[in-house]
Amino acid sequence: MHLKSKLFSSLSLSVLLGLTATASLGQNVVLPLTVVNASGGWNEVNSAVDGNPNTMWNSQGPAPQFIEVDLGSDRMFSRVRLLPAQSDPGYSVHRIIGKTSAGQEVNFTTYGNFTKDNQWIEIFNQLEIPVRYVRVLTTQVNSWVAWREIQVYDGGDLSESCYSNEHGYGWAIYATLPGSSKCPDTQGHFLVKYRDVRNQPSGTLINSCSLYGLQGWTIVSSSKFSGQCDAYQNSERFILRKD
């Protein structure tokens, strides 16, 4: 089926196409990490990614401090989990910054909240941007900057097609870009961008132009998003949370 401009609402499309179940590929995984840079405490950097919360990387100084990990290749990530070694509880601020293999930097988000020692911090990512390197930059904390563990979760594969039925169950359509030279034979010339969200962990937030094939996800909000979901009625984009 060709994707047609303004033809289907996200709800009616799921009814029309039906559901095609496919096997899960187990993408709810912690990516293997290698520390490639840090602002201090270099002899201890591997302790932040060794899977042992009883060891730690200590920057040996107050904020600002950073540590940067290599994902092995350009990947989208769904969340970053941080386990602080924090002598004094209090408000802390951490920036998540990515960098592609080509050297392009991406500012993902800034997290600020009350934190304390040995209590996980979870930072979810909705941007469908693959990066190879992830930097955790701490700009405010009550103690020296130190981490017991850093985890980065795989966000699933990204793909694109000229058709809206290229993938089945568990794939979110996060953008439909009109006028693409890659799709000269389809109405509206829409380039459809997909994200594989099978086996993402509970609480994960995603963007989607359609509800098709996304059982087990709850609508958090919806809004008109001109330029991203124009192939669907009202150009509506959903933010969904995994149950």
**Can you give the residue range of the structural domain that contains 43?**
34-154
Is 165 in the same domain as 233?
Answer: yes
CB 53 within 8 A of CB 83: yes
Q: Evaluate if pTM is beyond 0.95.
A: no
Is 82 in the same domain as 120?
Answer: yes
Summarize pLDDT for 206-219 with one digit per residue, the tens.
Answer: 999 999 999 999 99
Whether the CA torsion 177, 181, 182, 184 is positive or negative: it is: positive
Stated length of the chain: 243
Please report the pLDDT score of residue 29 as a whole number.
Answer: 83
- Who wins on pLDDT, 10 or 200? 200
Q: Quickly state the pLDDT bin for 28 (edges 50, 70, 90).
A: low
For the record, the structure tokens of 119 come out as 């209590």
Residue with tokens 């793909």: 159
3-state secondary structure of 45: helix
Is 90 in the same domain as 192?
Answer: no
CA–CA dist 191, 158 (Å, integer): 13
Round the average pLDDT of the chain to a whole number and report it: 87
Summarize pLDDT for 59-68 with one digit per residue, the tens.
Answer: 999 999 999 9
Mean pLDDT across 71-76: 97
CA distances from 184 to 26, 179, 187, 193, 236 (A): 35, 8, 8, 16, 24
Is 17 in the same domain as 99?
Answer: no
Whether the CA torsion 103, 107, 112, 118 is positive or negative: it is: negative
Is 135 in the same domain as 181?
Answer: no
Is 62 in the same domain as 21?
Answer: no
Please report the pLDDT score of residue 15 as a whole number.
Answer: 26
- Who wins on pLDDT, 4 or 56? 56
CA–CA dist 226, 220 (Å, integer): 19
Residue with tokens 């010339």: 189
Please report the pLDDT score of residue 232 as a whole number.
Answer: 82
CA distances from 60 to 63, 98, 121 (A): 10, 24, 21
Q: What is the CATH number of the domain that holds 46?
A: 2.60.120.260
CB 222 within 8 A of CB 238: yes
Domain end (from 104, 123, 154): 154
Q: Quickly state the pLDDT bin for 10 (edges 50, 70, 90).
A: very low
**End-to-end CA, the chain:** 30
Task: Point out the least confidently predicted range of 19-28, 181-190, 227-236.
Answer: 19-28
Domain end (from 104, 127, 154): 154
Mean pLDDT across 178-184: 92
The answer to whether residue 2 sits within a structural domain is no
Q: What is the dihedral of CA 162, 165, 167, 168, to 10 degrees?
A: 170
Summarize pLDDT for 155-167 with one digit per residue, the tens.
Answer: 999 999 999 889 9
CB 76 within 8 A of CB 100: no
3-state secondary structure of 177: strand
The answer to whether residue 3 sits within a structural domain is no
- Who wins on pLDDT, 181 or 23? 181
Is 67 in the same domain as 80?
Answer: yes
Is 161 in the same domain as 130?
Answer: no
Q: How many domains does the chain have?
A: 2
Please report the pLDDT score of residue 21 as a whole number.
Answer: 25
Domain end (from 154, 175, 207): 154
**Rg of the chain (C-alpha set):** 20
Is 70 in the same domain as 120?
Answer: yes
- Who wins on pLDDT, 161 or 19? 161
Task: Point out the least confidently predicted range of 24-38, 88-102, 172-186.
Answer: 24-38
